[in-house]
Amino acid sequence: MFSKILIANRGEIALRVLRACRELGIKTVAVHSTADEDAMHVRLADEAVCIGPPAARDSYLNVAAILSAATITGAEAIHPGYGFLSENADFAETVEAHGLTFIGPTAEHIRMMGDKITAKTTMEALGVPLVPGSDGELKSLDEARTVAEQVGYPVLIKATAGGGGRGMKVARDASEIEEAWTVARTEARTVFGNDAVYLEKYLDKPRHIELQILGDNYGNVVHFGERDCSLQRRHQKLLEEAGSPAITPDQRNGIGKTVTEALSKMGYRNAGTLEFLYQDGQFCFIEMNTRLQVEHPVTEMVCDVDLVREQIRLAAGEKLGYTQSDVTFSGHAIECRINAEDPDTFAPCPGTVAVYHAPGGLGVRIDSALYTGYKVPPYYDSMIAKVIVHAPTRDQAIARMHRALDEFVVEGIKTVIPLHRRILADPEFQKGDYTIHWLEQFTARPH
């Protein structure tokens, strides 16, 4: 086992990793920008190193500074959290080349799954079902037209290097295909520096279902069930559930068996999440995230597992030590992401937290690095907390989340807590009757 780990991230995820290290008896090194010198993870870590000015490109994305911090503090491994460098294959490769352990998958698998065409081709060859679409990158507008006619409109043109909803455009009929082709490629070139695109059938009422897995260095892979991440605005998740109100245990077992067998053949190690569109009883693979997910706590709550602890164990070369039959599911969990945003306009609202009081009680968990007097900086993602609840049933979990949000006090800045209250009170949400398009339609309603 490692004696010291550097945490190459900030905010609540840095604190989450730090806590797992503490319970394992591992010393921690926090890295931070000048904007985060008073951050909670910096205060609690055994050592802290400033790695640059506020801009992420000069600090949290500064590979040389991070590796230097690891060297001078004697860290043996680096945990990247999520975001920033967590899915950067070159970073993972460089970490290993410097004699350190990257707590995550191999650079090969990060690179393979980072390109959506390669990921889909790989998964299809391993028997994982896909959304109908092009075999790979579209070489021309004429090819896009041909494939669109074959799979049937509406279709979605997507950047191969995409993410976060960027480089994506829907064509609902043949008259829109040229514009979709042009817009998707232009945005992909601007955002990702790569204008390669592919085409998929556009599903009109899908749910976004993802499956959490862990693999060790010895070919053992298990899954920890599904999360329903369908409540999204502009492809950014806001509320997640485990399990999904739309998935039966038999469906979970079926897709889980398919996925674990595929990843075992790949030799995949550490944590990963496979994302699917689910409609009319069919799972269609869309991408794989080769890292820990923001929403991992709901899985931890229903499976009684510490996924970060498992990541560290597996990176240290330990075996899983359990099989699929040992993984059990209990109750229902819901996570609300609390962003420092106006709940109506979604405009970012950085500033000083005048009063902070976190909810508590049975089955309530708060993942946050906030405290009274903390200054939420304007330079990074607006998520400032996650409220996670667990209860025996979904209805009880909804009631518990209502209660937790009513107790949650964050003054001095605006947050999306009022929006979450509205969502939880909506009859369609309470019935579990929603798709990936539901939230945008909901937020457009007058209230």
φ, ψ of residue 364 in degrees (nearest 5):
-115, 130
Token pair belonging to 26: 């591992």
Which structure tokens are listed for 112?
Answer: 């393979």
Tokens for 442, please give them. 């909901």
Length of the chain: 447
The residue written with tokens 């009631």 in the block is 399
Please answer whether residues 183 and 169 qualify as being in contact, where contact means their C-beta atoms are separated by less than 8 angstroms.
yes
Q: Rounded to whole angstroms, what are the CA distances from 447 to 238, 241, 422, 433, 443?
A: 19, 25, 9, 20, 9
Q: How far is CA 303 from the centre of its chain?
A: 18
H/E run at residue 102:
strand 101-102
Would residue 291 show up in a list of annotated catalytic residues for this protein?
Answer: yes
Query: 3-state secondary structure string, 29-69?
Result: EEEEEHHHCCCHHHHHCCEEEEEECCCHHHCCCCHHHHHHH
Place of tokens 């970073």: 91
Type and span of the H or E element at 183: helix 177-192
Burial of 175 (0-12, 13-18, 19+ CB in 10 A): exposed
Sign of CA dihedral 424, 426, 431, 436: negative
At residue 223, what is the residue type? H
* Catalytic residue from among 16, 145, 227, 291: 291
* Residues carrying an active site annotation: 291
